[in-house]
Amino acid sequence: MFRKIEDFQHNAAYNSKATQKVLDALTDASLKQVAAPGCWDMGTIAWHIVKTIPEMCGRTGLTVDGPEEDAPPPQ
């Protein structure tokens, strides 16, 4: 639970930087890697993160630039 807006901002900034580090570390080879049988590959997980942000914000009435929910992943 956040008690102050600054606490939320600090947490959001930390998580944003950590997520960006993970996305930056992905390679063409790692995008095809699957952690366990029947699970999404890393590329699908990364694309899910990218397109979920504008989708979730849109449900709150906020407009955030980004791909549509059903947009295919980039090549």
pTM of the model: 0.77
**Quick one: average pLDDT of 48-56?**
92
- Label residue 69 by pLDDT band (50, 70, 90): confident
Supply the pLDDT for residue 31: 95
Nearest to 74 by CA among 46, 55, 53: 46
Q: How far apart are CA 29 and CA 21, in angstroms?
A: 17
**Quick one: average pLDDT of 38-59?**
93
Q: How far apart are CA 44 and CA 34, in angstroms?
A: 10
pLDDT at 1 over 90: no
- What share of the chain in percent tops pLDDT 90? 87
